[in-house]
Amino acid sequence: MWFMRQAGRSLPEYRAIRGEGSINDAIANPDLATEITLQPIRRYGVDAAILYSDIVTPVHAIGFGMDVVPGVGPVVEKPFASSDDLSRLRPLDPEADTPYVLETIDNLVAELDIPLIGFAGAPFTVASYLIEGRPSRTYHNTKTMMKARPELWFSLMDRLADLAIVSLQSQVAHGAEAIQLFDSWAGSLSAADYEKYVLPSSARVLEEIGKTGVPRIHFGVGTGELLGLMAQAGADVVGVDFRLSLAEARTRVPADKALQGNLDPAILGAPWEVVEREVDAVLESNGGHPGHIFNLGHGVTPDSPPETLEKVVERVHAYRA
Amino acid sequence: MWFMRQAGRSLPEYRAIRGEGSINDAIANPDLATEITLQPIRRYGVDAAILYSDIVTPVHAIGFGMDVVPGVGPVVEKPFASSDDLSRLRPLDPEADTPYVLETIDNLVAELDIPLIGFAGAPFTVASYLIEGRPSRTYHNTKTMMKARPELWFSLMDRLADLAIVSLQSQVAHGAEAIQLFDSWAGSLSAADYEKYVLPSSARVLEEIGKTGVPRIHFGVGTGELLGLMAQAGADVVGVDFRLSLAEARTRVPADKALQGNLDPAILGAPWEVVEREVDAVLESNGGHPGHIFNLGHGVTPDSPPETLEKVVERVHAYRA
């Protein structure tokens, strides 16, 4: 078990050392990023660490011109709008462009006695940031480009898949023992559109990383309709958000896939007896199936009490003992 | 066929007469609200009008202290937080509290030769505005209250159900020939939570309105997992967003229910040949089933070109001719 966004703003020890400035600055500081990654390991005793980084780190590193604005999310100076913008997405050279990420991983691997999970943004979700320019509820421009300019769309997806592949390969080469591909906003698409416009590039990423031999987790929010396709894309583990039970999710993916999830993070501020009931419901819905990584259905929110997360870990570990 | 949010900011003739000020002011002006309701009827030739009003109009009218902020949505001065706040939700007397709504309906019924659709917010969605204080992505406080304080939650839902019932009854009494219950954000819930915490009060609203004999449409976004329950709550027509095909949706509701939807509004800015293909896909997915109201999967966005919506109406009408 681990928690998506287990490192970060919900932890007082994070707020104490994080300082001002962009998350990009913190990620570019290996000592700081190492410490931030380790904080939840010390506090919670979760079973895996997840690299403190961001899904837009590679595009930022090659100079696309984006920042992560606190409380907003990734914001792009000049959104991706035409084939002229493809040249702004040159290939990533991880050792030269993101040496700080690899140094952080080196530090962590030396320090940790649990697995480190590396990650990347899936091409669709990163494309949505580049095209919309900021987080969107409708993905209006993204969907329009996808359907009105499919050649441009697939060229963009190709470049973003290459970025994800190269970034993930470097993370694994430096010691990440599993990877998660975040297609956070894929749930805004119908299954038919996902299959046609998104699945092929995510499948290429997952296939390439499969060659390294590490387990691949494939996650998105509101993806109930897409779970089968997300498994088919090449995942070993499919993330499930809180909208459907693990028992129901298991009917939608092949029997050899594991599931990850799916406690609703929106409930973490409730009194413990409420959270405990919800944790138990997740475990019961899994029904003792060995292919289950306990996690939230989406990331920890900044106002989640760390004390509650501590108890969640205890509860899950006690159940499995 | 009609379009959710067919009246409003996407129309230049709306922007020309709407003026500054809150939507509450526009709703409180029957001549203006009548004209705004009629504008899309004249322009598009859709088959139904939907009252220009808001799902928070009843709570606003009884003095709960909320406004609708352009670009944000409903914002509450003092969110609903405890049993003390129940007294801020007194019963609605439509003739005394919202005479302007009824006058608008009287005007419209005199003018229209197509049905007028009345509407209300479902208790859950209105509760989420009252509790969160502003639009939320996580519904953190709403879900916490639901599960940590179920007695308070059900008391709130009871009051909001009463408001919706009384408001809808008055709309029907003045001539609305169908109603839509908007549970826009119900898709943030699992089916189990929806069934336990939300369905009973929505079912009460739909049952009471069923006694008037008008057809009842029940709509939410991202409700693929909930369609069967939303039908069971007492809908004659179940709204489907763009995430799943009508053919798939039909497998999730009883055979005697009609469906409404489900063109993705995010695609309306694309060139016509793209939109046309999407319209045709919706019609083909319906497969000629007589129980289908063509609509979008969510409301028209402000940047949607009216010329495209005109062509959508032509296309759907030609298909059915």
- Across the interface, do A301 and B138 touch by the CB < 8 Å criterion? yes
Q: Where are the domains of chain B?
A: 12-229
Q: Which of A144, A251, A280 to mutate to test the interface with B (most CBs of B within 10 A)?
A: A144
Q: Is A194 helix (H, G, I), strand (E, B) or coil?
A: helix
**The pLDDT value given to residue B22:** 86
**The pLDDT value given to residue B247:** 97
DSSP secondary structure code for residue B293 in this structure = E
ipTM above 0.90, yes or no: yes
**The pLDDT value given to residue A54:** 95
The answer, for A271 touching chain B at a CB cutoff of 8 Å, is yes
**The pLDDT value given to residue A120:** 98
Task: Quick: pLDDT tens for A161-190.
Answer: 999 999 999 999 999 999 999 999 999 999
Find residue B116's DSSP bridge partners.
B49
Contacts of B143 in chain A (CB under 8 A): 264, 266-267, 270
What residue of A is the nearest CA neighbor of B188?
A243
Q: Which of B136, B144, B296 to mutate to test the interface with A (most CBs of A within 10 A)?
A: B144
Instruction: Report yes or no: B295 and B246 within 8 Å, Cβ to Cβ.
Output: no
Task: Quick: pLDDT tens for A95-136.
Answer: 999 999 999 999 999 999 999 999 999 999 999 999 999 888
**The pLDDT value given to residue A135:** 83
- Measure the CA–CA gap between B48 and B247, rounded to whole angstroms: 24
Q: Which of A139, A147, A262 to mutate to test the interface with B (most CBs of B within 10 A)?
A: A147
- Across the interface, do B245 and A192 touch by the CB < 8 Å criterion? yes
The answer, for B138 touching chain A at a CB cutoff of 8 Å, is yes
- C-alpha angle with apex B225: B223 to B227, nearest 5 degrees? 65
- Whether A54 is catalytic: yes
CA-wise closest residue to B266 among A226, A172, A297, A148: A148
What residue of A is the nearest CA neighbor of B278?
A147
- Whether A9 is catalytic: yes
- Across the interface, do A144 and B267 touch by the CB < 8 Å criterion? yes
- Across the interface, do A267 and B143 touch by the CB < 8 Å criterion? yes
Residues of chain A with pLDDT under 50: none
Task: Quick: pLDDT tens for B241-265.
Answer: 999 999 999 999 999 999 999 999 9
b/e string for A183-204 if b means 16 or more Cβ within 10 A? Answer: bbbbbbbbbebbbebbbebbbb
Fold of B12-229: TIM Barrel (3.20.20)
**The pLDDT value given to residue B73:** 84
Instruction: Report yes or no: B304 and B11 within 8 Å, Cβ to Cβ.
Output: no
The answer, for A225 touching chain B at a CB cutoff of 8 Å, is yes
A window 69-98, beta carbon within 8 A of B: none
By Cβ distance, the residue of A143, A187, A266 closest to B143 is A266
The answer, for A135 touching chain B at a CB cutoff of 8 Å, is no
Q: How many angstroms separate the CA of residue B95 from the nearest CA in chain A?
A: 37
The answer, for B30 touching chain A at a CB cutoff of 8 Å, is no
What residue of A is the nearest CA neighbor of B298?
A138
Residues of chain B with pLDDT under 50: none
Tell me, what amino acid is at B208?
Answer: E
Contacts of B285 in chain A (CB under 8 A): none
Residues 6+ apart with CB under 8 A from A186: A122, A124, A125, A194, A198, A220, A223, A226, A230
The answer, for B192 touching chain A at a CB cutoff of 8 Å, is yes
The answer, for B149 touching chain A at a CB cutoff of 8 Å, is no
